[in-house]
């Protein structure tokens, strides 16, 4: 028996013309397979919505309240842990310095000043070395290579921006 | 109900009252999907409640350009699919009616009780066969027939391509048809021994 058009019509659940409907009805009388698909399609079309027991929203309210309480509890625990960890870190890193500052302020001040001066000197050295390197490199690298590097950087930035926009799009569904 | 978009905006700003109105409006849609997916009234109730809770939790992610119902049903469908994957085996309660409450006997005083009983029986059969489908196929069928979603909407809801939805619907209809036929054959075999040899 040639199921082909009839089975396809049923499985695609297509809208049929009157002529097609007549042909299908004739086929269904002799084909149990297609008749079964037609019956299940018919049952699917006669949908019957399931409804929750009355008071669904009233049952939801306490659940939401419980969830909010749980969220608050978690936030509180998180905050306490964060504060304790911050205090611990501060004590470990800055504790000796603070103790020293309290015991001998003059020594502490001179050490802090020398540390800052050291940092500034380091920055100045880096600036000078960088300047020398830049001047020598600009002489060594041809203009076309600079152009290619700028174009590649631009392309990279474009790809990065595009990727970030795609990744940061708000996901739907949870 | 007030304007849906306004309610969603209010709920996004933390209004529980606005969100409760949305729950009131969409409870049947969400519950029906969960019930068709899970096959049990209690599980469906729990899944529907969880869906609304997740929706409230992630309301800031909702895109106003998309229908709210689609977003909600997407959450419900994914939750049910996950739950079914964890459960692996689905159980269908035989003492529950299609609408999720305890089964009632057909009212003999009602007009055409036999027709009503037959319709009820067909609905129960269909619900049973739905449980035999793959969970994603089942979600596609429920969204298509119970919620009148187009293939494009189903694709968006289930994060599938339109061609994948078409092929899943096609496969699901075939499987339902096979179940229907097998049940018909079993009934025919079961009837035969009681039939008179004269026939």
What digits encode the pLDDT tens for the residues A75-102? Answer: 999 999 999 999 999 888 888 777 877 8
Say yes or no for a CB contact (<8 Å) between A53 and B100. Answer: yes
Nearest CA in chain A to B138: A44
* Interface check A58 vs B, CB under 8 A: no
Partners of residue A44 in chain B, C-beta under 8 Å = 126, 141, 145, 173, 176
Instruction: Provide the 3-class DSSP secondary structure of residue A87.
Output: helix
The answer to whether the CB atoms of A60 and B23 lie below 8 A apart is yes
Residues B109-149 have pLDDT tens digits of 455 667 777 777 888 888 889 999 999 999 999 999 999 89
More confidently predicted of B112 and B44:
B44
- Band of pLDDT at residue B199, cut at 50, 70 and 90: very low
**Chain centroid, CA B195 distance in Å:** 38
Q: Name the residue among A48, A56, A64 with its Cβ closest to that of B56.
A: A64
User: Is this structure's pTM higher than 0.80?
Assistant: no
Write the ipTM.
0.73
β-pair partners for B102: B96
CB pair distance less than 8 Å for A170 and B146: no
Residue B196 has pLDDT above 50, yes or no: no
Q: Which residue of A has its CA nearest to B71?
A: A173
Secondary structure of chain B in the HEC alphabet? CCCHHHHHHHHHCCCHHHHHHHHHHHHHHHHHHHHHHHCCHHHHHHHHHHHHHHHHHCHHHCCCCCCHHHHHHHHHHHHHHHHHHHHCCCCCCCCECCCCCECCCCCCCCCCHHHHHHHHHHHHHHHHHHCCCCHHHHHHHHHHHCCCCCHHHHHHHHCCCHHHHHHHHHHHHHHHHHHHHHHHHHHHHHHHHHCCCCC
Average pLDDT, chain B: 82
What is the mean predicted confidence (pLDDT) over B35-56? 94
Task: Give phi and psi for A106, each to the nearest 5.
Answer: -65, -45
Least confident of B1-15, B152-166, B175-189: B175-189
pLDDT (tens digit, 9 = 90+) per residue, A38-47? 888 888 887 7
Confidence band (pLDDT; 50, 70, 90) for A12? confident
Residues of A in contact with B75 (CB under 8 A): 173-174
Question: Which chain A residue's Cα is nearest to B67?
Answer: A172
What residue has token string 């304790």?
A84
Q: How far is A159 from chain B (nearest CA, A)?
A: 25
> What pLDDT, on a 0 to 100 scale, did the predictor assign at position B2?
62
Chain B hits for A52, Cβ within 8 Å:
27-28, 31, 44-45, 48, 100
pLDDT of residue B119: 77
Half-sphere exposure of B5 (CA within 13 A, CB side): 5
Which of 16-55 (A) contact B at CB < 8 A? 32-33, 35-41, 43-53
């Amino acid at each position: 028996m040639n199921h082909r058009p009839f089975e396809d019509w049923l499985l695609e659940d297509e809208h049929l013309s009157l002529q097609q409907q007549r042909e299908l009805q004739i086929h269904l009388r002799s084909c149990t397979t297609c008749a079964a698909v037609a019956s299940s399609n018919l049952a699917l079309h006669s949908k019957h919505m399931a409804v929750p027991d009355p008071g669904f929203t009233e049952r939801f309210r306490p659940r939401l309240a419980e969830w909010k309480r749980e969220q608050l509890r978690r936030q509180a625990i998180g905050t306490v842990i964060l504060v304790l960890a911050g205090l611990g870190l501060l004590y470990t890193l800055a504790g000796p310095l603070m103790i020293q500052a309290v015991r001998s302020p003059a020594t502490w001040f001179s050490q802090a000043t020398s540390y800052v001066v050291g940092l500034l000197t380091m920055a100045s050295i880096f600036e000078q070395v960088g300047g020398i390197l830049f001047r020598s490199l600009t002489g060594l690298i041809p203009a076309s290579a600079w152009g290619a590097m700028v174009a590649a950087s631009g392309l990279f930035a474009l790809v990065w921006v595009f990727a970030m926009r795609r990744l940061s799009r708000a996901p739907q569904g949870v | 109900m007030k304007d849906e978009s306004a309610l969603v905006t209010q709920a996004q700003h933390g209004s529980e009252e606005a969100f409760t109105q949305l729950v009131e409006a969409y409870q049947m849609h969400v519950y029906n999907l969960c019930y068709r997916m899970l096959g049990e009234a209690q599980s469906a109730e729990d899944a529907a409640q969880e869906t609304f809770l997740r929706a409230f939790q992630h309301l800031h992610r909702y895109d106003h350009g998309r229908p709210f119902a689609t977003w909600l049903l997407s959450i419900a469908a994914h939750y049910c699919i996950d739950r079914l994957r964890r459960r692996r085996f689905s159980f269908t309660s035989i003492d529950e009616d299609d609408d999720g409450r305890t089964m009632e006997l057909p009212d003999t005083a009602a007009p055409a009780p036999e027709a009503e009983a037959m319709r009820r029986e067909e609905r129960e059969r269909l619900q049973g066969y739905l449980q035999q489908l793959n969970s994603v196929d089942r979600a596609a069928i429920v969204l298509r027939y119970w919620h009148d979603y187009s293939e494009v909407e189903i694709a968006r809801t289930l994060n599938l391509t339109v061609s994948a939805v078409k092929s899943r619907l096609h496969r699901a209809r075939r499987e339902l048809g096979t179940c229907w036929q097998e049940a018909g054959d079993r009934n025919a075999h079961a009837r035969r021994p009681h039939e008179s040899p004269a026939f």
